[in-house]
Amino acid sequence: MKNGVLIVGLGQIGLQYDLHLERGEFTYTHSRAFSEHKDFELLGAVDSDKERRSIFSQSYNLPAYSNLSEAIKKHSPDVVIIATTTKTHAKILSNILKLSAPKIILCEKPLSYNLHEAQEMVDLSEQKGTELYVNYMRRSDTGAIEIKNLLKSNKHNTSIKGVCWYSKGFIHNGSHFFNLLEYWLGPMKRFRLININKQRISDEDYEPDVEVEFKKGSIVFLSAWEEIFSHYTVELMSSIGRIRYDDEGAAIHFQDIIDDSVFKGYKILNSEVKSILNNMQHSQLNVVDQLSEHLKGNASYLCTGKEALNTLISMKLIIDRIDKNE
């Protein structure tokens, strides 16, 4: 039996990113991913904007509601997606759980800009018996999973070093990569601010340059200029070689270590670069695949609400340090 899905929020990730793209070639939204997956039935959507509701209904031949209560009472969904603005996440989750107890709530990142709210979201979901996941979709991609497996073979137990470029906010977009690096390298142990960049990009967010020491390595986060161009990459150096996670994960390359054919006794990076297969053109379908596996009782790589809360706790420590230095 298929699990029924209701999407709350028809913005970019909910509906719009792939409207103009060929079906079968790209899956960047919740609407397309759940509508195409054999184990789920997309029931409808909720949004306050009349035009968005109309576009959704025309695109998917499904109802779209302005009222959350009406949609939940009519459809009793097994899975609810929260794809609204971050400041509304906590209130919407609370309203969903007052009205029903779905099996799963999948919330967009970050859970909240407020730690107290985020903790309440995790606690309330537990109390209602609803599993809470956060849409850090890169963890569900085959390329990211392969990187995690590669790093397990870091033979000499040396600390991994790396650089992460991000733009459009440390928490807003940088959290995608902070969470991914926690997945690869373990929890944050400490941090050191390099460049505070005190100009806020919002009431809750900055774009600092910061060195973060995770359990298995140290990463320098550097902010780029979203107003000029978007840029998201990670480079990792370890005893197994060099990994480049480029183009937001759409291009992943690995160079292992070989003997230097010119200077005997030296080791160098192999000039023959190996590509690591990924499926980022179907990033949201990857997440839905993982949800399906989880509901079948199999292992999955989804980010739980508790893991996302830990990401937020670590990142807020860095933001709070900037606030104190103002």
- Cβ neighbours for 192, distance < 8 A, ≥ 6 positions apart: 210, 211
Cα dist from 177 to 110, 138, 142, 308, whole Å: 12, 9, 16, 12
Mean pLDDT of 60-68: 98
Q: Are 98 and 91 in contact (CB under 8 A)?
A: no
pLDDT at 262 over 90: yes
Mean pLDDT of 57-80: 98
Task: Express each pLDDT in 96-121 by its tens digit.
Answer: 999 999 999 999 999 999 999 999 99
Weakest mean pLDDT among 27-31, 104-108, 156-160, 183-187: 156-160
Task: Express each pLDDT in 294-312 by its tens digit.
Answer: 999 999 999 999 999 999 9
The band of 155, judged by pLDDT with boundaries at 50, 70 and 90, is low
The band of 154, judged by pLDDT with boundaries at 50, 70 and 90, is confident
Mean pLDDT of 229-246: 96
Q: Which pLDDT score is estimated for 326?
A: 61
Task: Express each pLDDT in 11-39 by its tens digit.
Answer: 999 999 999 999 999 999 999 999 999 99
- For the chain, domains (ranges, CATH) are 3-136 (3.40.50.720), 142-278+305-325 (3.30.360.10)
Task: Express each pLDDT in 198-223 by its tens digit.
Answer: 777 888 899 999 999 999 999 999 99
Q: Which pLDDT score is estimated for 287?
A: 98
